[in-house]
Structure 1
Amino acid sequence: MQKQSSRLALVAAGVTVVLWASAFVSIRSAGAAYSPGALALGRLLAGSLVLGAVLLVRREGLPPRAAWPGILVSGLLWFGVYMVVLNWGEQEVDAGTAAMVVNIGPILIALLGARFLKESLPPRLLAGMAVSFAGAVTVGLSMSGGGSGGHASALGVVLCLLAAMAYAGGVVAQKPALAHGSALQVTTFGCLVGAMACLPFAGQLVEEAGRAPLSATLNMVYLGVFPTALAFTTWAYALARTTAGRMGATTYAVPALVVVLAWVLLGELPGLLTLAGGALCLAGVAVSRSRARASVAAGTAEST
């Protein structure tokens, strides 16, 4: 039973990573017609509608009172602040710089998880994160032309750094909430909190939706239904069954998948340096997710 649960959690994490990687392609399209706040609000509203409908069908109701502190914090930081400032930051810096700065998020998750959730930092996790971060930096440098072909404003770097901090804080706040509420409950109400926090952008959303091309609006809806509603739920399911640090390290697979998706969907042929960086990202994830077989058989507390 425990092995089956571990496999399901790994599959859920894989679904999350693939859908989050696809989000970068959709954001590139929708971001050309929608401002950062309007795009975040539209995405969250679409996600909230889908999640709310599923919640009603499953009749799960409101989460327990003990889950609400984590839901509120993760909703404000991760669903609200993170989405807005990341959209904004990617307009101020090139994609490579954004990738390098935002990818300190998993490192912050591991450190915050050790500090506030009392999670351990096993050598395999630290080694894997180091390899993956080196890969993310390699991908970032290749995408920004080694620092010569891209652009990076101080404001953009600060925004990406803020996004990484909001992401890390949201993940660590969400973990305790999952001990009391289901993955669907925590995700649904976290998304609703984020949407409420973004309501000041409602006027921009209405105005921009009126003149945006259909493709941009469809991409915004896609972001809400799949990378938000589905991917955040599968993330919460997996997070409830492992440590925050290990889940954070898993997201280092995203840069590698973004390279592949951009190649397949946008015809952007990656260079050798980009491919090497993507390979490092995946290798680091493999190391960070690995563990001694004896530890798996014993069912250590870290995996539950």
Structure 2
Amino acid sequence: MCYEVECAMVTVMSTVATQRATADTPADTPVAPHRRTALDWRLRFGVLSLIWGFSFLFIKVGTHAYAPFQVTLGRLVFGTAVLAAAMAVKRERLPRGLRTWGHLTVAAFLLNALPFSLFAYSELTIPSTLAGICNATSPLWGMVLSLVALSEDRPTRRRVAGLGLGFLGVLTVLGAWQGFHGLDMTGMAMALLASLSYPIGWIYVRRTLAGTGHSHLSLTGAQLFLATVQLAVVTPLFTTLPSRFPLLPLLAVAALGALGTGLAVLLQYGLVAEVGPTTAQMVTYFIPVIATAAGVAILGESLTWSTPVGAVIVLAGAALTQSRTRPGVRGRK
């Protein structure tokens, strides 16, 4: 999966729904092609890249006035509202069954509540540019975990090389040769832990929710609702109600939720259905570039040579870990 926040969730839920639909369709029954929307998929791809790339800037601006848990709660409220509206328009129903809701509760924690909160806390002490680059390490963590948890995934020389290259890029971003001078390691650890949470959640969803018979929109809407409930319980325990509500940070939180957690999910579903998950997931490699450009140009964050160079190395390694050997290549002389 691609791993800026919802990207992992989107692709897994789409795959779950597709597997179920395929299983329920007789072999001789033609499958109706996905109806194209009015906007070209390339334009929607660009919009999605911008939305997710700017998410880290929105988080940073939001934390200027609100506590990280409050930013996350607001994000989930606005995102859930968008998906609820989409479900109402399409007349989708929430999933049924206690078992399904139990698994969705865990998925909501791993794919939404935990990583969203960790990224918000990390940006109290690290630039949004670094948070965006840490997010790009999710495919690297995903490969390590999938080799352990998913028996169908097998290591190849290319993927192992990509893993090593990716983590070399992380060390470059962190300036390991300088002893990580000038970096808040707690904030960096939180951002890296957030990126690790996505593949853990992906593997959990893949193992527990495949074949449930519910649509991807229904599953994701329920998951975001549960994550909202989780943050609604936690936030009052660790924060106090703000005495004032500055407009700019409030708008940033609203944009983060409505665009980055609501509209972006719907855009990604459409892309996965129209052009396939492989092409749709390429948005992952644009996110840190946009996040870095936005942080430097708009927030005035500093940028040393090691940050963009390390980011390129991370993305190259991540691309290698996602590559697959083409049929017939193995064993060819």
Which band: TM-score by shorter chain?
Answer: 0.7 to 0.9
How has the CA–CA distance of structure 1 residues 118 and 251 changed in structure 2, closer, same or farther, with 3 Å as cutoff? farther
**Quick one: which of 76, 85, 89 aligns to 2:122?**
89
Distance 1:237 1:125 in 2: 29
Distance 1:20 1:171 in 2: 19
Amino acid at match of 1:228: T
Q: Name the stretch that deviates more: 175-184 or 42-51.
A: 175-184
How has the CA–CA distance of structure 1 residues 170 and 15 changed in structure 2, closer, same or farther, with 3 Å as cutoff? farther
Tell whether 2:80 aligns with 1:51.
Answer: no
Per-residue CA shift, 1:262-285, capped at 9, x if unaligned? Answer: 244345574433332233234334
Q: What residue in structure 2 maps to residue 182 of structure 1?
A: 215
Tell whether 2:197 aligns with 1:166.
Answer: yes
Q: What residue in structure 1 maps to residue 22 of structure 2?
A: none
TM-score by length of 2: 0.68
SS in 1 for 2:289: helix
Larger Rg: 1 or 2? 2
Instruction: Return 5+ residue gaps in structure 2 as ranges.
Output: 1-29
The structure in which a higher percent of residues are helix is 1
Q: What residue in structure 1 maps to residue 95 of structure 2?
A: 63
Per-residue CA shift, 1:190-210, capped at 9, x if unaligned? Answer: 1111100011325888832x5
**Quick one: which of 60, 66, 69 aligns to 1:34?**
66
Q: What residue in structure 2 maps to residue 141 of structure 1?
A: 175
SS in 2 for 1:63: coil
SS in 1 for 2:94: coil
Q: What residue in structure 2 maps to residue 260 of structure 1?
A: 293
TM-score by length of 1: 0.73
Structure with more relative contact order (C-alpha pairs < 8 Å, separation 6 or more)? 2
Post-superposition offset of 1:103: 5.7
Instruction: State percent identity of aligned pairs.
Output: 27
Tell whether 2:148 aligns with 1:115.
Answer: yes
RMSD of aligned residue pairs (Cα, Å): 4.1
How has the CA–CA distance of structure 1 residues 287 and 85 changed in structure 2, closer, same or farther, with 3 Å as cutoff? closer
Q: What residue in structure 2 maps to residue 299 of structure 1?
A: none
**Quick one: which of 252, 264, 270 aligns to 1:231?**
264
SS in 1 for 2:93: coil
SS in 1 for 2:241: helix
Instruction: Return 5+ residue gaps in structure 1 as ranges.
Output: 297-304
Post-superposition offset of 1:185: 1.8
SS in 2 for 1:221: helix
How has the CA–CA distance of structure 1 residues 165 and 130 changed in structure 2, closer, same or farther, with 3 Å as cutoff? same
- What does 1:191-270 align with in structure 2 at a 5 Å threshold? 191-200=224-233, 201=235, 207-208=241-242, 211-233=244-266, 251=284, 253-268=286-301, 270=303
Residue correspondences, number: 285
Per-residue CA shift, 1:216-238, capped at 9, x if unaligned? Answer: 00000111012212334556778
Post-superposition offset of 1:95: 5.9
Work out whether residues 108 and 223 of structure 2, in 8 Å CA contact, stay in contact via their aligned partners in 1: yes
How has the CA–CA distance of structure 1 residues 206 and 228 changed in structure 2, closer, same or farther, with 3 Å as cutoff? farther
Distance 1:287 1:15 in 2: 25
Distance 2:296 2:127 in 1: 18
Distance 1:198 1:146 in 2: 36
Per-residue CA shift, 1:10-34, capped at 9, x if unaligned? Answer: 9788766543321111111111111
